[in-house]
Amino acid sequence: MKHINIVNGPQSVSTIVQGCMRIPGLSNENAAKVIRTAYDCGINFYDHATCYGKDGAAETKFGEAFSLTGLKREDIYIQGKCGIYPDRGEFDWSKEAILSSVDGSLKRLKVDYLDTLLLHRPDLLFDPEEVAEAFDELEQAGKVRYFGVSNLVPMQIELLKKYVKQPIIINQVQLSLEQSQLIDQALYMNNKTTDMSLSRDGNVLDYCRLKDITIQAWSPLQVGMFGGTFVDNPDFPELNKKLGELADRENVSKAAIAVAWILRHPAKMQAIVGTMNPEHIKDICAAADVTLSHHDWYELYLSAGKFLP
């Protein structure tokens, strides 16, 4: 496993992160096996959100299962996310919502602090001064060590930064071979023949690199948000052919090559994987030891339906 230092944030974090969105359905024993397998493969970073499962079910499951793993709290980094309220049908970054959300997460996870807290999706009514007050209180109380965001465009981060004292160290965004708008827009700039030239995120990739904000790529194997994985999916024959060739060459799985494609990007991203299958976790962690060439990276990108302008 490779590790990176997050600028102004936690040090020596694994480049592959275990996402916990899919953990609620597991038994405590199986959840403990997922957490422990990931750790034994070198993963030391676990991603949560209050909205993963009903009423914080992912956090509750993790909290119950963790005691069965033999691990100590300080062995791992735990990331929480707040702001999404599916039952209420809204996003809420008010001070009160942020503070009570973190208290709920700590209780369910059975921990005293979160290593990182991300604002999950933009509350269209957010007041950056209120967010700043909430972050100050959480930091002073020792409940959160570092702060970041998810799915945020550059100008919203700038607006937050005008008031928030703590560095914004992470932006968690969707990126996969299939869902690669983060990258596409730069390649096709000014090209009216394709929608891929559209900047849908205000060039957030370059912005984050300029501002030393680590990109965390969520759902690295998914088609869209709920389309299932593209790995071994007959709708993606060219991509699977290329993934298969490189997987054979490197003696790893196709899923590992898809994750290695993200880790090959010089922005030094983390990839957040969501499998709950311990064998898949082991397979995928091999990605961190694969270094794709410049040419491999382009071949994979083009096999996913892109073209050179």
Ligand X SMILES: NC(=O)c1ccc[n+]([C@@H]2O[C@H](COP(=O)([O-])OP(=O)(O)OC[C@H]3O[C@@H](n4cnc5c(N)ncnc54)[C@H](OP(=O)(O)O)[C@@H]3O)[C@@H](O)[C@H]2O)c1
Give me the residues that bind ligand X (CB under 6 A), please: 19-22, 47, 150-151, 172, 218-222, 229, 231, 253, 255, 272-277, 280, 283-284
Q: Which is nearer to ligand X, 138 or 217 (CB)?
A: 217
Gap between the Cα atoms of 61 and 45, Å rounded? 16
Report the nearest approach of ligand X to the CB of residue 303 (Å): 18
- Contact assessment for residue 301 and residue 29, using Cβ atoms and an 8 Å cutoff: no
Q: Which is nearer to ligand X, 188 or 204 (CB)?
A: 204
Nearest to 23 by CA among 273, 237, 286, 287: 273
Report the nearest approach of ligand X to the CB of residue 23 (Å): 8
105 SS3 class = helix
- Contact assessment for residue 85 and residue 92, using Cβ atoms and an 8 Å cutoff: yes
Q: Which is nearer to ligand X, 188 or 243 (CB)?
A: 243
Helix or strand holding residue 239 (H, E): helix 237-250
Provide the token pair at 246: 């490189």
Measured CA to CA in angstroms, residue 298 lies from 12, 209, 227, 236, 308 at distances of 29, 20, 24, 17, 10
Report the nearest approach of ligand X to the CB of residue 151 (Å): 5
Query: Which residues, 6+ apart, have CB-to-CB distance to 279 below 8 Å?
Result: none
Measured CA to CA in angstroms, residue 289 lies from 3, 42, 76, 203 at distances of 11, 11, 21, 29
Query: Which residues, 6+ apart, have CB-to-CB distance to 242 below 8 Å?
Result: 299, 300, 303
- Kind of pairing between the strands at 270-273 and 45-47: unpaired
Report the nearest approach of ligand X to the CB of residue 178 (Å): 10
Gap between the Cα atoms of 286 and 128, Å rounded? 41
Gap between the Cα atoms of 27 and 285, Å rounded? 23
Report the nearest approach of ligand X to the CB of residue 309 (Å): 28
Q: Which is nearer to ligand X, 170 or 188 (CB)?
A: 170
Q: Which is nearer to ligand X, 188 or 290 (CB)?
A: 290
Q: Which is nearer to ligand X, 63 or 274 (CB)?
A: 274
Report the nearest approach of ligand X to the CB of residue 232 (Å): 7
In the residue annotation, 301 being an active-site residue is answered as no
The one catalytic residue in 46, 52, 188, 207 is 52
Q: Which residues are catalytic?
A: 52
